[in-house]
């Protein structure tokens, strides 16, 4: 294949223009077979926004073509191909058990099922259809919080109620990242995620994709069990572990030669149980902060400029902002949701946290993003492995009190003045769940509040209006990543056991794609150890 990089096209380009470019670049008379492999937006010059494309071209005489062209943007390339590893030599007497059906658990389960291992997946929450009904009923005030099935727990994991962002900074020499994206497309995602620079799926599309992956695992001989909570384990012998599960019928146990813990970053009761059982856990840095809302039209104008064509030809604008305070504390935007909603993402009684969510069209009135501040173990005030988790819980309780059980909301100008807000300005909050005007200063430690103010004021220098008085804040954003790492070795097992910590909850991922990739890595570790079942 021949790859052509750095193709600049107007935002309203037609396919004929791209075809003409390819012919001219390769000195061809006919349009060859080609495929888009990358599309990004160049918005460095406002009002002169362009698309930057890369395409792969298939030709019989590639060597002859490359001899004729002299362009650093034109080169030979090969398609990345992902392959499962060869099987190992150990006999698997009992099938793999996977705890959790977030991206790590689902992808570990799918790839193990494809290798013939018939995994059993246990999920404490509900299937994605019933889970969606439960969550929406909670947001609408029709039902109380279900601590076992909510934005954090249930089929699809926390990522199901998010923007479904699939971009990641991980390297992909192995082809795993590409395999993740191709799997999403296979089970229902728009194929554009294979080439757009910042791929996203959207909450509405993710629900169907998750269901399709589950059904494929079952078709291949695996099992997926809902309302089934992992509550304990014990070592049976050197090669097996006994897993205890509670469901609506009671408590039962099951043996396995490979226990994959894809528990998610919010499984706090499970972290506590694992610590009490002696599994090695360690502290891990994370970040906390608030959600910020602006008009999406304002963000579009800030990012792209004021060309009328942009509304037609460009997607809702996103952004990524960072600031370093004088004391070295980092402030940055996180999980930015164009055209999205702030959602009540609580999972525990009398503790409150928020997240951001967009549907696939990203066509909501507001843009929202977390503005978060880095927290290191030095801030935990304890050397206990779960100290970061306890810190999260402490401030989620403060947020619950500040909003009297609802999401506390405050205007940025009032936040700077440290006074409760009493009105809403030009930005109307777009929030899933009830909210209440309050003072957010009590919901976070002073060093985070101070850093957020400095960060937002700094961001205003790049995007004038970002720090407007009536910019809407809500809180708190406490679940950016796991505050705990379940230690594992080079063979992906923990403490010389047959336990495989996996994904974001175990501290080895930071988003949907990286969690799915880690699920594939753990599946590979199991496949490489055991004979085919």
Spell 353-392 as b/e; 16+ CB within 10 A means b.
bbbbbbbbebebebbbbbbbbbbebebbeeeebbbbbebb
Chain centroid offset of residue 146 CA: 22
| 367, 465 Cβ separation under 8 angstroms | no
State whether the Cα torsion 389-395-400-401 is positive or negative: positive
Q: What angle do CA 157, 271, 94 make, to 5 degrees?
A: 75
Quote the tokens at residue 155.
């089929």
**CATH code for residues 2-76:** 3.30.70.2700
Q: How far is CA 85 from the centre of its chain?
A: 26
Report the sign of the C-alpha dihedral through residues 411, 413, 415, 417, in that order. negative
> Measuring CA to CA, which residue among 169, 427, 442, 425 is closest to residue 290?
442
What DSSP state is assigned to residue 505? Answer: T
| Per-residue confidence (pLDDT) for residue 508, from 0 to 100 | 96
Q: Say what the pLDDT of residue 381 is.
A: 84
CA torsion angle 405 411 414 415 (round to 10)? 70
What pLDDT, on the 0 to 100 scale, is given for residue 98? 98
Pairing of the two strands 322-324 and 330-337:
antiparallel
Q: Give the residue extent of every domain in the chain.
A: 2-76, 97-282+484-529, 285-477
Kindly calculate the radius of gyration of the chain based on its CA atoms and give it in whole angstroms.
Answer: 24
Confidence (pLDDT) at 496:
81
Res 416: pLDDT? 98
pLDDT for 168 equals: 76
Residue 418: CA count within 13 A, CB half-sphere:
6
Rounded Cα distance between 224 and 218, Å, is 7
pLDDT at residue 174, rounded to an integer: 85
Q: What's the CA gap between 280 and 175, in Å, rounded?
A: 31
Domain 2-76 shares a fold with domain 97-282+484-529: no
- Per run of 10 residues, the mean pLDDT along the chain (length 533 residues) is 96 96 94 95 91 94 90 90 94 97 98 98 97 96 97 94 80 86 96 92 92 98 98 94 96 98 97 96 97 97 92 94 96 96 98 96 96 96 96 98 98 98 97 98 97 98 97 97 96 93 96 95 98 90
Beta strands in 161-228 (DSSP E): 223-225
Residue 167 has a pLDDT of 80
CATH superfamily of 97-282+484-529: FAD/NAD(P)-binding domain (3.50.50.60)
């Amino acid at each position: 294949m021949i790859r052509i990089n750095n193709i600049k096209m107007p935002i309203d380009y037609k396919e004929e223009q791209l075809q003409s470019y390819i012919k001219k670049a390769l000195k061809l008379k006919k349009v060859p077979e080609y495929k888009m492999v990358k599309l990004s937006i160049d918005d460095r010059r406002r009002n002169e926004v362009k698309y930057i494309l890369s395409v792969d071209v298939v030709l019989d005489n590639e060597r002859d073509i490359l001899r004729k062209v002299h362009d650093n943007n034109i080169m030979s390339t090969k398609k990345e191909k992902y392959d499962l590893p060869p099987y190992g030599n150990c006999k698997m007497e009992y099938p793999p058990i996977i705890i959790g059906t977030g991206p790590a658990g689902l992808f570990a389960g799918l790839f193990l099922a494809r290798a013939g291992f018939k995994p059993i997946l246990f999920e404490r929450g509900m299937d994605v259809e019933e889970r969606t009904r439960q969550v929406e009923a909670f947001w609408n005030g029709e039902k109380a919080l279900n601590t076992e099935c909510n934005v954090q727990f249930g089929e699809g994991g926390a990522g199901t109620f998010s923007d479904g962002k699939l971009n990641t900074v991980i390297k992909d020499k192995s082809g795993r990242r590409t395999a993740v994206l191709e799997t999403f497309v296979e089970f229902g995602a728009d194929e554009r995620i294979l080439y757009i620079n910042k791929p996203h799926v959207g909450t509405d599309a993710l629900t169907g994709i998750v269901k399709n992956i589950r059904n494929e695992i079952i078709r291949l001989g695996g099992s997926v069990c809902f309302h089934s909570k992992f509550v304990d384990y014990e070592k049976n012998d050197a090669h097996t572990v006994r897993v205890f599960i509670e469901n609506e019928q009671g408590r039962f146990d099951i043996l396995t030669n490979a226990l994959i813990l894809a528990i998610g970053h919010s499984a706090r009761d499970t972290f506590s149980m694992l610590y009490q059982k002696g599994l090695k856990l360690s502290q891990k840095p994370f970040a906390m902060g608030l959600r910020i809302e602006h008009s999406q039209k304002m963000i579009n104008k800030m990012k792209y400029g004021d060309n009328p064509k942009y509304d037609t030809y460009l997607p809702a604008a996103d952004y990524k902002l960072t600031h370093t305070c004088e004391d070295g504390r980092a402030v940055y935007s996180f999980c930015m949701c164009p055209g999205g909603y702030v959602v009540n993402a609580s999972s525990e009684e009398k503790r409150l946290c928020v997240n951001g969510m967009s549907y696939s069209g990203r066509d909501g009135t507001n843009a929202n993003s977390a503005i978060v501040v880095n927290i290191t173990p030095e801030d935990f005030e304890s050397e206990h492995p779960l100290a970061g988790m306890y810190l999260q819980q402490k401030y989620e309780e403060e947020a619950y009190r500040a909003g009297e059980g609802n999401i506390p909301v405050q205007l940025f100008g009032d936040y700077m003045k440290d006074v409760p807000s009493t009105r809403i300005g030009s930005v109307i909050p777009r929030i899933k769940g009830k909210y209440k005007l309050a003072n957010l200063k009590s919901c976070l430690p002073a060093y985070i509040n101070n850093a957020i103010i400095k960060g937002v004021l700094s961001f205003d220098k790049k995007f004038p209006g970002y720090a407007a008085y009536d910019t809407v804040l809500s809180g708190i954003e406490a679940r950016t990543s796991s505050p705990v790492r379940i230690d594992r070795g080079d063979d992906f097992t923990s403490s010389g056991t047959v336990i495989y910590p996996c994904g974001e909850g175990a501290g080895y991922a930071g988003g949907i794609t990286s969690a799915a990739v880690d699920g594939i890595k753990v599946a590979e570790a199991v496949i490489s150890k055991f004979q085919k079942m």
